């Protein structure tokens, strides 16, 4: 397994930004003198972190690196700041365009990653789960499967928030990400709108703990998908909004991918 950490210059953000890349290369087992060869180009998961995170947070809080090695998949983890992975025109920080298209172009140019839709997946935890469904749908031509782990499906509610010192409840914070909150519904920042206006919807996987403060939102979205006759796999199990839950269910998502 090879781990690259570095930074890239991207047009979407008008600056340099950091990324971590796990590649299933050099799987040498020294004790038994053997080596596993994963055929190139590599199938790839673009994995999005949650609020307060960065590109190295999955490496610090999960065992995703070893799991990727065992399953022969490349994983690209960008730094999304606290952006919700949407396009902030005022700041010229087009995080949706970045993770939905430009990041794919950049990493495929540098690393031996597959360019096929069926070999390319997007997933995320919390804010990253929202980013995965939003950009997995908006850029559906690029991704064959979307993974939502404890997804922050909050776009129906933020318009009703007031200013608060807690970022999670702060209307002004969400305005800094989404702009005019009255215009989020029925826009490309509204996952339900995207579901109704997207052709060739990727397969969808969801997981959320029954004790998670976002559980009801995830259940409601799953029910919405089923009302639109969209197949969705939803794992509901005991658990809270924790790294332990994320670690387990990101792995469950990877197990569902066509990696062999």
Residues 6 or more apart from 194 whose CB is under 8 A from it?
133, 134, 137, 138, 188
> First and final CA of the chain: distance in angstroms?
18
What global pTM score does this model have? 0.96
pLDDT at 27 over 80: no
Among residues 141, 124, 133, 111, the alpha carbon closest in space to that of 44 is found at: 111
pLDDT value at residue 39 = 87
Q: What is the CATH number of the domain that holds 112?
A: 3.40.50.1820
Mean pLDDT of 214-222: 98
- Has residue 260 been placed in a domain? no
Three-class SS of 197-213: CCCCCCEEEEEEECCCC
pLDDT in tens, 1-17: 799 999 999 999 999 99
pLDDT value at residue 25 = 82
Q: How confident is residue 132, by pLDDT bands cut at 50, 70 and 90?
A: very high
Contact 85, 99 (CB under 8 A): yes
pLDDT value at residue 164 = 76
Among residues 145, 151, 100, the alpha carbon closest in space to that of 257 is found at: 145
pLDDT value at residue 34 = 58
pLDDT value at residue 30 = 56
DSSP per position, 194-259: HHHT-SSPPEEEEEEETTSTTHHHHHHHHHHHHHTT--EEEEEES--SSHHHHHHHHHHHHHTS--
Distance of CA 112 to CAs 2, 63, 108, 173, Å?
A: 12, 23, 6, 38
What's the number of domains the chain is made of? 1
Rounded CA Rg of the chain = 18
Q: How confident is residue 75, by pLDDT bands cut at 50, 70 and 90?
A: very high
Check residues 233 and 33 and name the one with the higher pLDDT: 233
Q: How confident is residue 224, by pLDDT bands cut at 50, 70 and 90?
A: very high
pLDDT value at residue 258 = 80
pLDDT at 241 over 90: yes
pLDDT at 175 over 80: yes
Kindly state the percentage of the chain with pLDDT values over 70: 96
Query: Residue 15 CB: number of other CB atoms within 10 A?
Result: 11
What is residue 99's DSSP assignment? Answer: I
**How do 44-48 and 74-78 pair as beta strands?**
parallel
Containing structural domain, residue 162: 2-255
Chain-wide mean pLDDT for the chain? Answer: 94
pLDDT at 221 over 90: yes
Q: Is the dihedral of CA 183, 131, 117, 257 positive or negative?
A: negative
Residues 6 or more apart from 90 whose CB is under 8 A from it?
179
DSSP-based helix, strand, coil % in the chain, nearest 5 = 35, 25, 40
Q: How confident is residue 29, by pLDDT bands cut at 50, 70 and 90?
A: low
Mean pLDDT of 27-47: 78
What is residue 176's DSSP assignment? Answer: H
Q: How confident is residue 165, by pLDDT bands cut at 50, 70 and 90?
A: confident
């Amino acid at each position: 397994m090879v781990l690259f950490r570095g930074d890239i210059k991207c047009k979407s953000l008008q600056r340099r930004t950091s990324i971590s890349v796990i590649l299933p290369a050099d799987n040498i087992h020294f004790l038994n003198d053997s080596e596993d060869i994963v055929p190139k180009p590599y199938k790839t998961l673009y994995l999005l972190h949650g609020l307060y995170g960065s590109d190295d947070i999955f490496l610090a809080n999960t065992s995703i690196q070893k799991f990727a090695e065992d399953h022969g998949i490349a994983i690209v983890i960008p730094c999304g700041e606290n952006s919700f992975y949407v396009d902030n025109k005022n700041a010229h920080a087009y995080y949706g365009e970045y993770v939905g298209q430009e990041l794919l172009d950049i990493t495929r140019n540098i690393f031996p990653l597959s360019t096929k839709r069926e070999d390319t997946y997007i997933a995320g935890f919390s804010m990253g789960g929202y980013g995965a469904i939003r950009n997995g749908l908006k850029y559906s031509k690029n991704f064959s499967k979307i993974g939502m782990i404890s997804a922050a499906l909050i776009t129906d509610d933020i318009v009703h928030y007031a200013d608060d010192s807690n970022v999670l409840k702060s209307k002004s914070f969400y305005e800094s990400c989404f702009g005019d909150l009255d215009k989020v519904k029925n826009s490309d920042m509204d996952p339900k709108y995207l579901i109704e206006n997207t052709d060739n919807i990727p397969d969808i996987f969801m997981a959320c703990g029954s004790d998670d403060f976002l559980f009801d939102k995830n259940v409601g979205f799953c029910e919405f998908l089923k009302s639109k006759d969209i197949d969705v796999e939803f794992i509901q199990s005991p658990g809270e909004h924790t790294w332990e839950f994320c670690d387990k269910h990101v792995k469950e998502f990877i197990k569902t991918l066509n990696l062999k």
